[in-house]
Structures are given as C-alpha cells and as structure tokens.
C-alpha cells in the first residue's frame, strides 16, 4: 500500500539526482505514472493530497515541484474518471488544469497548502478570485467553458460562513469547490455514473439560482454543502449515509497523516536543538 509521502519522495528523488530541475517535464512523467497507479493507491493519494511538506522553504523549487505534482494528480483524476484533461504549461493568467468533455470545458485551480500555515483557512480572496476564473473561461470561449473547479486539502476550510461560499454560488461564473477527499469519492464511484452526469455540478441555474449571502441564517457553509452533497448523491447514486461514511473514513486517514507529519517535525526540531546544544558545548571557554 502506498503512503502519503509518495509525492514528497518523488520531489526529493528529483533533487537528489539532478541540480537542474524541469518542473513541467517531471510533472508530465508523474502524470503518466499516476494514470496507471492501482485504484486503491490512487484513491489514497487523492484523499491525502494537497499538504505541502513544511520541510520545504517558502517559494523554493522543491515547493514549486510539489505543487506541480499535485496538479498532475488532479489531472490524472480527471482523466481516470472519463474526462480529457491536461496541465497548462503557460501559467501567466491561466488555470492549472484544463478539463474537457465533448465541447464543454472546466478550468481548474489545484490548491496546495502547508499544515503549518498560521491561518486555519486561507484568505477568501487568496483562495478564489472569480475575476480570474472569468478570464480563464474567456480564453476558451464562454460558449464552451461552463465554469471553474477549485480543489484543496480539507483541513483548510472556513468555520460556518465565508465570502468563499458566496463566490462559489455565483451563477455568472459557476465555480465548484471540492476538497480532495471528495475527488476520491467521485473516483471510487466512477463506474456508477457517466462523466457527462458530473457536469450537473455546474448547473447553477438549478443549484444556486441566487448566491449564498455570508450572513444568512445557519451560515452559508452549511447551505453550500447541503446543495453540493445533494447533487453528489444524485450523480453517483449513493445515499447520504454512504457519502458520510466515505468522508468519515477519509478524515481518519487525513488525521493520521497530520499526526505523523507533526511528530516528524517535532523530531526534526529536537534533532536541531540537540545539534545546537552540542556545538555550544564544544565552543572554547
């Protein structure tokens, strides 16, 4: 069974074997590997995706390659459930992954975050800029581009209400936000629905005829997920109980890797402290 360090090991191997790193080439190579990964392993990688190892420095080449590998994972997911997807090479004002089915196009932003980030959830405007989604859609022609998709690790989400849920219920630029564990759910049950059925997630005239205000009763987070989960039940033909069971099992796996990463970082901090103390003791009086 594969473990959650799979992508990190791939990054570390790349930097151990070469000082010259071609991020795009390595991402393409990984994408081809992921397309043929056993189903159980691929589903596990999806469930636990999106957490940048805190051992990588901010804005480092290692961090960049890891985020590219996360994009490769999302691209492989789309291809394996029956869409046609490709990673975008030219990143200036473009999406990470372009997903196609027939003449319909979805522009995807594949997010990765650090577990050690100071904020529990990212700033809403950093997480999603609807204007960017609109520009990406315009690039493909609005007649073909039906909306956006934002994928992200579920440990970084808002408590009860956020501008994000308002953004993601705006029918002028339908943008669905799905944590990686839901991508894993859709992969697990991919034989229970047709790829075209999944496009119903972007039918915002039906799902979100009005955007969800931030100050609505009960919070707009609950309202968003009630609607999206209902659509997921319809599309996959799974009961609410089956979806919740999948989420519960996914959360158990994610909590385990979070604990493991924290313990690894604590060991690293302890090792650094010990080395510093040793060097201090060796200093001449």
SS3 of 207-233: the string is HCCCCCCCCCCCCHHHHHHHHHHHHHH
Domain holding 33, by residue range, is 6-282
pLDDT at 121: 67
97: pLDDT strictly greater than 80 = yes
Distance CA 217, CA 215 (A): 7
Mean residue pLDDT of the chain comes to 91
117: pLDDT strictly greater than 80 = no
Residue 156 lies in a domain: yes
Residue 105 lies in a domain: yes
Please indicate whether residue 93 or residue 208 has the higher confidence score (pLDDT).
Answer: 208
Residue 227 lies in a domain: yes
Confidence category of residue 285, pLDDT binned at 50, 70, 90 = low
**Domain harbouring 103, CATH code:** 3.40.91.70
Residue 111 lies in a domain: yes
109: pLDDT strictly greater than 60 = yes
* Phi, psi for residue 234 in degrees, rounded to 5: -65, -45
Residue 162 lies in a domain: yes
Confidence category of residue 42, pLDDT binned at 50, 70, 90 = very high
63: pLDDT strictly greater than 80 = yes
pLDDT at 35: 94
143: pLDDT strictly greater than 90 = no
pLDDT above 70 as % of the chain: 96
Distance CA 153, CA 178 (A): 9
Please indicate whether residue 120 or residue 277 has the higher confidence score (pLDDT).
Answer: 277
Residue 25 lies in a domain: yes
Determine the average pLDDT of the residues in 81-86.
97
Please indicate whether residue 186 or residue 256 has the higher confidence score (pLDDT).
Answer: 186
Per residue in 241-284, pLDDT (tens digit) is 999 999 999 999 999 988 877 777 778 778 788 788 788 788 77
Q: Which residues have a Cβ under 8 Å from the Cβ of 137 and sit 6 or more positions away?
A: 105, 107, 145, 147, 148, 173
pLDDT at 118: 47
pTM of the predicted protein model: 0.91
Count: domains in the chain: 1
CA 145 to chain centre: 20
Residue 1 lies in a domain: no
Determine the average pLDDT of the residues in 63-86.
97
Instruction: Region of 86 please: left (phi>0), alpha (psi -120 to 50) or beta.
Output: beta
């Amino acid at each position: 069974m594969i473990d959650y360090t799979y992508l990190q090991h791939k990054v570390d191997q790349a930097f151990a074997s070469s000082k010259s790193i071609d991020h795009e080439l390595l991402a393409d190579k990984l994408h081809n590997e992921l397309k043929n990964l056993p189903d159980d392993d691929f589903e596990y990688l999806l469930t636990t995706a999106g957490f940048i190892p805190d051992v990588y420095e901010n804005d480092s080449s290692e961090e960049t390659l890891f985020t590219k590998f996360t994009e490769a994972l999302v691209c492989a997911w789309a291809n394996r459930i029956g869409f046609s997807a490709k990673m975008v090479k030219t990143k200036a004002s473009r999406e990470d992954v372009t997903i196609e089915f027939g003449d319909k196009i979805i522009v995807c932003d594949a997010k990765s975050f650090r577990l050690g980030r100071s904020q529990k959830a990212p700033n809403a405007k950093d997480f999603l800029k609807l204007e960017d989604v609109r520009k990406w859609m315009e690039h493909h022609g609005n007649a073909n581009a039906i909306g956006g998709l934002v994928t992200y690790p579920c440990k970084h989400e808002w408590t009860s209400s956020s501008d994000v849920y308002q953004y993601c219920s705006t029918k002028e630029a339908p943008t669905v936000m799905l944590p990686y564990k839901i991508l894993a759910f859709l992969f697990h049950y991919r034989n229970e629905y047709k790829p075209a059925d999944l496009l119903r997630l972007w039918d915002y005239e039906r799902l979100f005829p009005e955007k969800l205000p931030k100050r609505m009763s009960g919070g707009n987070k609950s309202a968003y997920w009630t609607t999206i989960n209902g659509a997921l039940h319809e599309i996959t033909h799974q009961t609410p109980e089956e979806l919740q069971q999948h989420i519960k099992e996914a959360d158990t796996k994610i909590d385990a890797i979070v604990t493991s990463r924290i313990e690894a970082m604590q060991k690293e901090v302890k090792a650094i402290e010990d080395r510093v103390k040793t060097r201090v003791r060796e200093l001449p009086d």
